[in-house]
Amino acid sequence: MNIFPLRLIPATPNIDFMRLRWVSVAVFALLTVATLVAIAGKGFNYALDFTGGTVVELRFEQPADVDGVRERLADAGYPGAQVQTFGSGSDLLVRLQPRDGETSADATARTAAEVLAAASLEGNAATIQSSAFVGPQVGRDLAWNGLYAVLFVVVGFLIYIGFRFEWKFAVAAIVTTLNDVLIVAGWFAISGQEFDLTVLAGLLSVMGFSINDTIVVFDRVRENFRSMRAPPMEVLNASINQTLSRTIITSVVAFLTVLALFLYGGARWRACRCR
């Protein structure tokens, strides 16, 4: 792989990956066990997408500062409020847990009034367009739908790889892919960061990204088993080395994309622009 005059990977790499196979298996087994312990012990910090809460739609006279609204709500006693724009920049959707835990119509109206008072600024007042309490049943439905989506993807992978290659390839691909997803999910359990629908979509993306690279390697393994007269370990090493350049290029491009979103997307970028 060349970048101008720089050669990052030799034209024909010959790295003995299989020599470290048991070390890799041990490392990932330890990570899997640690992840399962964290998920079973701490659990996830589910966001309002799954737990339910009060939803308030606000309309401002001028485009609103999302981060400023979020900070003022935190000062007013709603530190976990989710604030996002919808429609135009003057419309905000606020989702939060009632401080008193009540779900009656009066409690919802009182929460909406407190949100309005905290979000409004002199010269940019807000009005309430609607307010409602979304019960935890909706959150449970979303959680089950997310689980169904994961199971649907897993079954689809099994069927495709089973027909495309062999069932032993399909089982190996699913086990390694689920391990990748489990470790990513475990990070959210360990760190305590909120687990919402965006995270669930990210986990499905991890599954797709992982299985894509696995299929590429498996395809080369199948071709080499047909063309090479060598022991299985040698065939596997050759296949991984032959796809190494493609794997690194794909991973680096994906990493740069995610890094750009992390640096310039969401609240971090809006905060920089406000300053």
Under the banding of pLDDT at 50, 70 and 90, the label for residue 178 is: confident
Establish if 269 belongs to a structural domain: no
Where would I find the H helices in the chain?
A: 21-41, 48-51, 66-75, 105-119, 136-164, 167-191, 197-227, 232-242, 244-264, 266-274
Q: Which of 101, 134, 167 is the last residue of a domain?
A: 134
Q: Is the pLDDT of residue 166 over 50?
A: yes
Under the banding of pLDDT at 50, 70 and 90, the label for residue 139 is: low
- Name the token pair of 149: 């989506």
Task: Mark whether 212 and 176 lie in a shared domain.
Answer: yes
Establish if 40 belongs to a structural domain: yes
Q: For position 161, what pLDDT does the model report?
A: 78
Task: Mark whether 215 and 227 lie in a shared domain.
Answer: yes
Under the banding of pLDDT at 50, 70 and 90, the label for residue 26 is: very high
pTM of the full structure: 0.69
Distances (CA, A) of 247 to 25, 137, 180, 203, 250: 20, 42, 16, 20, 5
Q: Which of 94, 116, 134 is the last residue of a domain?
A: 134
Q: Is the pLDDT of residue 270 over 70?
A: no
Task: Mark whether 22 and 62 lie in a shared domain.
Answer: no
Exposure string for 148-171, b = 16+ CB within 10 A, e = fewer: eebeebbeebeeebbeebeeebbe
Task: Mark whether 79 and 151 lie in a shared domain.
Answer: no
Task: Mark whether 151 and 72 lie in a shared domain.
Answer: no
Establish if 4 belongs to a structural domain: no
Q: For position 4, what pLDDT does the model report?
A: 46
> Residue 227's domain spans which residues?
14-46+138-242
Task: Mark whether 122 and 167 lie in a shared domain.
Answer: no
Task: Mark whether 194 and 213 lie in a shared domain.
Answer: yes
Task: Mark whether 109 and 154 lie in a shared domain.
Answer: no
Q: Is the pLDDT of residue 78 over 80?
A: yes
Establish if 3 belongs to a structural domain: no
Task: Mark whether 209 and 225 lie in a shared domain.
Answer: yes
Number of domains in the chain: 2
Establish if 188 belongs to a structural domain: yes
Task: Mark whether 96 and 226 lie in a shared domain.
Answer: no
Q: Domain holding 128: CATH number?
A: 3.30.70.3400
Establish if 88 belongs to a structural domain: yes
Higher pLDDT among residues 256 and 263, named by residue = 256
Task: Mark whether 110 and 237 lie in a shared domain.
Answer: no
Task: Mark whether 211 and 224 lie in a shared domain.
Answer: yes
Q: Is the pLDDT of residue 140 over 90?
A: no
Establish if 275 belongs to a structural domain: no
Establish if 123 belongs to a structural domain: yes
Q: Which of 134, 156, 186 is the last residue of a domain?
A: 134
pLDDT in tens, 50-72: 777 888 888 888 888 888 888 88
Count of all residues that appear for the chain in the document: 275
Distances (CA, A) of 154 to 33, 71, 143, 157: 21, 40, 17, 5
